Amino acid sequence: MYQPLADKIRPKTLDDVVGQRHLLGENGLLRRVIESGSIPNLIFYGPSGVGKTTVASIIAQQTDRKLYHLNATTAGIADIKAIIDELDTFLAPNGALVYLDEIQYFNKKQQQSLLEFIETGKITLIASTTENPYFYIYNAILSRCTVFEFKPVEAADMRRAVERALKLAMGEDAKPVEDGVVDYIAQAVGGDVRKALGAVELLVSGAGADGITLADAQQAAQRSNMRYDRDGDSHYDILSALQKSVRGSDPDAALHYLARLLEAGDMISAARRMLVIASEDIGLAYPQCAAIVKACVDSAFQLGLPEARIPLAEAIILMATAPKSNSAINGIDAAIADIRAGRAGDIPAHLKDAHYGGAKKLGRGLTYQYPHMYPNHWVQQEYLPEELRGAQYYEYGPNKTEQAAKAYWDRVKNQK
């Protein structure tokens, strides 16, 4: 019977697990919890292929518990109840460890139904998810579990797994492996051990007379390092990193995250976020930036990929290297906060619409002073509602553009 390579070389001890040293290293908290033998209910959060299932299997083995592996895409509460029915039999004398994969696919009612089983202590739940548990798992479950985040395996650790897999897969009939193959696979799979082992298995089974070549490895592992789901964490994480890189004035990092979005085919999300950045982070320090970015985005959609990458790169570099100001977003957010708090007040009578019959009888616009009739097109009068008199929402940023505007209006408004 065929057995995938990933199953053949699945680690049996914590020392054999590649990566996750922050959890399973000599002083890692998860390692200490496992070695104590007292296993609480756990949630393993992280991308696929990084060892979540493997660690759950090791926990069951080291604590001498029967492991039940369920997947939330196909399992239901009935499956949990069936496990409970076995607990008092010889099949699970030391209790059960239930590994529930992709728990985010359980709806609220199903997740809440788990409570009665884990609170009695009859089962220990280890739930895994590739999505942020604080978004997809309900508080009642979160409050009874400890969350551990698994991270993509670094290339240096991945290399060890690839070398071991090649040795086992080829056995005694070892064929030559071209220089660079191991390093390429270790780097190209994006921290996913399962992908790496799948690539190794494919290469070994398809090896020709020349053995395993770098060209074959590049074809087997092509684009596999992309982790992207438009509805998942990676989508928002990349967009967040893109904006923070521009805000931090790092054009290289900004180009990197733009490239990740474009390679995933998500030009729309990149363009939308760039339009936001132009006003939120560059803002009044360089007001023309918004128009330039809009022009680049329009050009990108007229061109389409791959040429669209050029105007988008131009825009992202411009924003990353431009002076920054967040005075606009700070100002509008402060004004909105007052509105939401109920601080609004009546619009002053002299500002209300007076272009209708009877407006004068209502006192509309009677004392309004037309600024263009005064020097420098400005005259002192109150514009805010009486309740908000003196409120200040906008503060001039320290950049050259806004300071020039501030100097102008300080000069005009202080003239007698």
- How far CA 346 is from CA of 21, 308, 385, in Å, comes to 62, 49, 6
pLDDT at 380: 93
CA 153 – CA 22 distance, rounded (Å): 11
Based on the domain organization, do 166 and 263 belong to the same domain? Answer: no
User: Band of the pLDDT at 274, cuts 50, 70, 90?
Assistant: very high
pLDDT at 4: 67
Say how many C-beta atoms besides its own lie within 10 A of residue 366's C-beta: 12
User: Band of the pLDDT at 316, cuts 50, 70, 90?
Assistant: very high
**Under 8 Å between Cβ of 70 and 79:** yes
pLDDT at 22: 92
- The reported pTM is 0.67
How many domains, in total, are found in the chain? 4
Sign of CA dihedral 368, 374, 376, 380: negative
DSSP state of 281: I
Based on the domain organization, do 52 and 145 belong to the same domain? Answer: yes
Please state the separation of Cα 37 from the chain's center in Å.
34
CA 174 – CA 384 distance, rounded (Å): 82
User: Band of the pLDDT at 2, cuts 50, 70, 90?
Assistant: low
Based on the domain organization, do 108 and 35 belong to the same domain? Answer: yes
Q: What is the CATH number of the domain that holds 72?
A: 3.40.50.300
pLDDT tens column, 347-406: 999 998 888 878 788 888 889 999 999 999 999 999 999 989 999 999 999 999 999 999
Q: What is the CATH number of the domain that holds 263?
A: 1.20.272.10
**Under 8 Å between Cβ of 331 and 395:** yes
Helices then strands, counting H and E runs in the chain, come out as 20, 5
Q: What is the CATH number of the domain that holds 393?
A: 1.10.3710.10
**Under 8 Å between Cβ of 60 and 39:** no
* C-alpha closest to that of 200 among 154, 157, 158: 158
pLDDT at 120: 75
Domain of residue 165 covers 155-220
Mean pLDDT, to the nearest integer, of 292-319? 95
